[in-house]
Structure 1
Amino acid sequence: MSWIDWTVLLAFLGYTIWDGTRRGKDASTIEGYLLANRSMPWWAAGLSVMATQASAITFIGTTGIAYVEDMRFVQTYLAIPFAMIFICMFLVPFFSRMQNFTAYEVLEERFGLKTRLTTSGLFLISRGLALGVIIAAPSYVLALLLGLPLYLTILIIGVIATLYTTVGGIAGVITTDVKQMAIMMFGLIFCFILIWVNLPDEVGFEGALYLAGSLDKLTVLDLNFDLTEKYNVWSGVIAAFFLMASYFGTDQSQVQRYLTTDSVKNARKSLLMTAYAKIPMQFFILLLGVMLYVFFIFNSAPASFRASEPVAQNEQQQIAEQKILKEYEVAHLSRREAALAVVQERDPDTQQLFVETDAALNAARDAEMALQAEIRQADVNDTNYIFPYFILNHVPVGIIGLIVGGIFAAALSSIDSELNALTTVSIVDWYQRLKGDLHTEAHYVKSSRGVTFFWGALATVSALLMGETRSIIELVNQIGSYFYGSILGVFILLLWVKRANGIGALIGLISGMFSVFAFDRLFFNTATGNYSFIFPWDTMPDGYVKAIEFLWLNPVGTTVVIVVGFVVSLASKNK
């Protein structure tokens, strides 16, 4: 990056620290520090909800998924409007009436302290694990963009987020989230327009869509019901409903946003903002990834976006790499000529030739990735490096710094929210509850700041120790799917199963967690039709695929919790 871009980036990071910490003066009480005295405007809370979920995961990972695959990932978000209506009807009034600090306080009155602590403990574990990923994943990309050591980018993200969240509390978090969301959207829209205007004149936007459609890149909906397929309409509407209802309705990082508003009406409005805006926003980001694919049909691109320099270490590998890169270069030129021809002719023969040349190029790309994996003795992919490569090589000077700032903003907007939520649960559900309400407001505010610093430091250290991830956004959703369904089941027992009691809810929750982990390790042999449990330490036999993909773990966990919780509750009452 040029000195101009560095100046823009440093100015943005400096402003973020100032903007977040200046709200510290409003956090003199525990309610002010954790809930902003329930005085935040609905639109700010709504933007914070969107920014918390979006993060660098959306900025980097989603565009990469569309580039490598297609747009079917948008199906994951089809359930959001239904989940938001469900939450607005049932959970928001319930939380508002209870005037609680956390989503898990309400469990104790009916199900007892053990259930409250177990559920909140699962939140601490799940979000604590995810927070390290949220810091680590964009740090790899930013290290490449900035030419800095990896540990330094991790420290920059971790330290800045921890600093202003520790000082400013939830008000500082929401204030910075609003600006960070604006920077993120500016960067995405600018890149989309930049790609559009730099396409060849004879192609244009309509021609780009025709080319993408020829390669099935514009595939959005998959109507086939298949539990082994990650993304289809059924997993997006049914399975993802449980994920989204639990994430937005029972995850403290989201619940805390609408608890900062002053009424049920404003809490609902903050959630409905996401219900209306999330699918169009996600569709646009995926379309940006598709347009990026078309852009690199007509512009040079490396065989691997992850490493622009050859990685071969011995003569045999050097020969193999030279052969692969030659094949890639020939395929790239052939594909470009075929693409121009198909835009002009638009007949089946030229279209088929274009598809074949694209397949040849991707075969060379796959061979290069396999060679890198062999040399590095590790799984290698470049999904998370595609969009950053475009930024670094095709965005004008000055704007690069702002867009890189947008990636930082995307990372920070999720980290600060998670830190504040982890602190709230740690203080309210554990420290304050177990120690008793014996201390002053000043003590709890001071303790909250100390706990925020602890979680920030722990997440930063775990990010430093973490390996590189395959796809940022998928990994975070997978981590959440291990926990969310079971936690949602406990809240359903609370609201609608009147006969459920504490022992039933607790055993149901534990059973739900075990069922999720069991189904996650269930594999299907496509040749014999046999099912087998294969644990992570076992060698994966050939021909096996997952029996159900990760989104379906959510309804599994919810169903098991409800059924077991109801049965055990009845049995314990009869006994």
Structure 2
Amino acid sequence: MSILDWSVLLGTILFITVYGIWRTRGAQNIEGFLKGNNREKWWTIGLSVMATQASAITFLSTPGQAYEDGMRFLQFYFGLPIAMVIICISFVPIFYRLKVYTAYEFLESRFDLKTRILAALLFLIQRGLAAGITIYAPSIILSTILGWNINLTNVVLGVLVILYTVSGGTRAVSITQKQQMAVMMGGMIMAGIIVVNLLPPYVSFPDAIQVAGEMGKLNLINFSFDWNDRYNVWSGITGGLFLFMSYFGTDQSQVARYLSGKSMGEIRLGLLFNGLLKIPMQFIILFIGVMVFVFYQFVQPPVYFNKLEKEKVYETAYAERMVKLEQTHHAIYKQKTKHIKALVKGIQSEDAGAIVNAKTNLNGFNKQEKEVRNQVKDLIKEVNPKAETRDTDYVFITFVMQHMPVGMIGLLLAVIFCASMSSTASELNALASTSLIDLYKRSVKEGGSDKHYLNMSKFFTVVWGCLAILFATLASQLDNLIQAVNILGSIFYGTILGIFVVAFYFKYIKANAVFWAAVVAETLVIFIYIRTEIGFLWLNPIGCLLVIFFGYLFQFLRSAKQ
């Protein structure tokens, strides 16, 4: 990287870190540390909620997802606007009226202490693991670019986030996220403009869109119903609705973002703002990934995008096999080039026959390319059985490093780091507040001073930060980061949501019944995930409905005995 790129990257990260510490210095009470003294306006809430969800994984992995699988991942978010409306109507008024610090406090008043602790523990397990993944995602970048030890990179990034989160708590998180969102979306929009301008002069923007469509990458909507299909309209609206209701309504990393709101009206506006803008934001990021795919139809892509893993093969006796595979890949691309040009020519002349003929030929060469890539992955696996062979997380960063102009490289790296810092800060803040309010203050030390709880909150922030760094060292075993986070959430979120849905809408079901229903439901969800091929989004409604079903069953059996 150039000096300019390093200056942009380091300057952005250090400015946001120092700014967050300076603006929120001197938090003297637990109310200010955990709820920001309820000062936030709706736009801050909306941007903070969006920034918390938009981790580095969003900007690192989503374009790669689109490169490989097209834009059908967008359907994952179709349930989000509906979820925002339900949360504004049902969740927000109760949380706001009770003036809770965490979502799980409400469960004790509705049920009992053990149900509150169960929900809090499920959250701590899920979010603690997810925090590790959000730290790991950008660590891939520095380790790939500089050859740094990835564990050292995890530590550096984790410590930066811990610094300003410990300093200012919730307010530090919210304030820094506004700057981070500006960097993130500004950088990605500029990247989209540049990738289109990098296309050959004879390929216009409309041509590029049609090329993407003809090659199956603009697959936005899929109405076919399939339990095993992760992304279709039905899984997005149904499974996504349950996932987002749980995430935004019961996950403390999100609930804390709007509990700091100035009024109920500000909170509702902030959540609706997020519901309206999140789908367009994801569309833009996915579309950039599709344009990167189109770009690589005219510029030869690497046979394998994880450069470090590929280079390890060249240091072994398998080097000659890798050379031959790269030569084969190059030869296939050279033959493919004339057909992609024929496709563009057919599109420009509106020649349907030429388009069909070019697509047929391109599909054949794409299959050959895929076969060679699979052979490369198999070879990498032979050299290193523990290697991560799915390389979609490296697609966008490879494009950035090899083809972006000076200055933009540093900015786009800053985008990914800002995203990681914003989501990780929210997670650490939420993990600390849940540990303090729902476990420590409630069951370990009641009646402590405000100063004591403030210090313990900072202590828990540091502890969870260290654990997140530790979990990050295990994240390299995952295939695709964005799917890993969503799968992890889906395993736990349905059960947590089920507890809250019962609390809000099913007064017949009491404490013991919902507690054991949640235990049974979570066990069954884990079993279903391990033993079946069902799409992970369906785990959310399954978990929720199982809690309701078993809650009714256990309550009925209990009532029948009395």
TM-score range, shorter chain: over 0.9
SS of the counterpart of 1:51? helix
CA deviation string 1:315-371 (max 9, x = no partner): 873343222111110121222221111111242212322332233223222222222
Distance 1:315-1:191 versus aligned 2 partners, 3 A rule: closer
Structure 1 residue aligned with 2:328: 327
Alignment gaps of 5+ in structure 2:
348-353
- Give the Cα separation in 2 of the matches to 1:442 and 1:183: 36
Q: Does the 8 Å contact 1:469/1:475 carry over to 2? A: yes
Structure 1 residue aligned with 2:29: 29
Structure 1 residue aligned with 2:350: none
Q: Does 1:363 align with 2:371?
A: yes
Structure 2 residue aligned with 1:553: 539
1:393 alignment partner, one of 375, 398, 402: 402
Q: Does the 8 Å contact 1:338/1:357 carry over to 2? A: no
Once superposed, what is the RMSD of the aligned Cα atoms? 1.6
Structure 1 residue aligned with 2:226: 226
Q: Does the 8 Å contact 1:135/1:158 carry over to 2? A: yes
Q: Does 1:262 align with 2:270?
A: no
Q: How many residues align?
A: 552
Which of 335-344 and 424-433 deviates more? 335-344
Distance 1:401-1:316 versus aligned 2 partners, 3 A rule: closer
Q: Does the 8 Å contact 1:515/1:556 carry over to 2? A: no
CA deviation string 1:12-34 (max 9, x = no partner): 22112211212443521111000
Structure 2 residue aligned with 1:493: 502
Which of 55-64 and 355-364 deviates more? 355-364
CA deviation string 1:37-77 (max 9, x = no partner): 01111111111111111111110111011111111111110
Structure 1 residue aligned with 2:248: 248
Amino acid at match of 2:239: A
Structure 2 residue aligned with 1:341: 342
- Give the Cα separation in 1 of the matches to 2:84 and 2:20: 28
- Give the Cα separation in 2 of the matches to 1:310 and 1:123: 40
Structure 1 residue aligned with 2:559: 573
Q: Does the 8 Å contact 1:392/1:400 carry over to 2? A: yes
Correspondences of 1:366-381 after superposition (within 5 Å): 366-378=374-386, 379-381=388-390
Structure 2 residue aligned with 1:474: 483
Structure 2 residue aligned with 1:542: none
Structure 2 residue aligned with 1:271: 271
Correspondences of 1:47-58 after superposition (within 5 Å): 47-58=47-58
Structure 2 residue aligned with 1:125: 125
Q: Does the 8 Å contact 1:391/1:400 carry over to 2? A: yes
Structure 2 residue aligned with 1:518: 527
Structure 2 residue aligned with 1:181: 181
- Give the Cα separation in 2 of the matches to 1:204 and 1:368: 34
- Give, in angstroms, the shift of residue 146 of structure 1: 4.0
- Give the Cα separation in 1 of the matches to 2:446 and 2:41: 30
Structure 2 residue aligned with 1:102: 102
TM-score, normalising length: structure 2: 0.95
Amino acid at match of 1:172: A
- Give, in angstroms, the shift of residue 137 of structure 1: 2.6
CA deviation string 1:233-281 (max 9, x = no partner): 1111111111111001110011111110021111111111111011111
CA deviation string 1:389-440 (max 9, x = no partner): 1111111212211211111101111100000000110111111111454222
- Give the Cα separation in 1 of the matches to 2:411 and 2:535: 37
- Give, in angstroms, the shift of residue 189 of structure 1: 0.7
Q: Does the 8 Å contact 2:111/2:510 carry over to 1? A: yes
Distance 1:169-1:316 versus aligned 2 partners, 3 A rule: closer
1:417 alignment partner, one of 411, 422, 426: 426
- Give the Cα separation in 1 of the matches to 2:403 and 2:378: 27
SS of the counterpart of 2:64? helix
Q: Does the 8 Å contact 2:143/2:149 carry over to 1? A: yes
Q: Does the 8 Å contact 1:51/1:181 carry over to 2? A: yes
- Give the Cα separation in 1 of the matches to 2:324 and 2:247: 48
Structure 2 residue aligned with 1:541: none
Q: Does the 8 Å contact 1:137/1:468 carry over to 2? A: no
- Give the Cα separation in 2 of the matches to 1:371 and 1:377: 10
TM-score, normalising length: structure 1: 0.93
- Give the Cα separation in 2 of the matches to 1:168 and 1:336: 55
Structure 1 residue aligned with 2:469: 460
- Give, in angstroms, the shift of residue 311 of structure 1: 4.0
Q: Does 1:504 align with 2:513?
A: yes
Structure 2 residue aligned with 1:46: 46
Alignment gaps of 5+ in structure 1:
524-545
Distance 1:183-1:60 versus aligned 2 partners, 3 A rule: same
Structure 2 residue aligned with 1:442: 451
- Give the Cα separation in 1 of the matches to 2:179 and 2:116: 35
Distance 1:92-1:366 versus aligned 2 partners, 3 A rule: same
Distance 1:436-1:148 versus aligned 2 partners, 3 A rule: closer
CA deviation string 1:499-546 (max 9, x = no partner): 1111011011101101101211233xxxxxxxxxxxxxxxxxxxxxx1
Q: Does the 8 Å contact 1:211/1:294 carry over to 2? A: yes
Q: Does the 8 Å contact 2:221/2:233 carry over to 1? A: yes
Q: How much identity, in percent, do the aligned residues show? A: 39
- Give, in angstroms, the shift of residue 174 of structure 1: 0.7
Distance 1:556-1:310 versus aligned 2 partners, 3 A rule: same
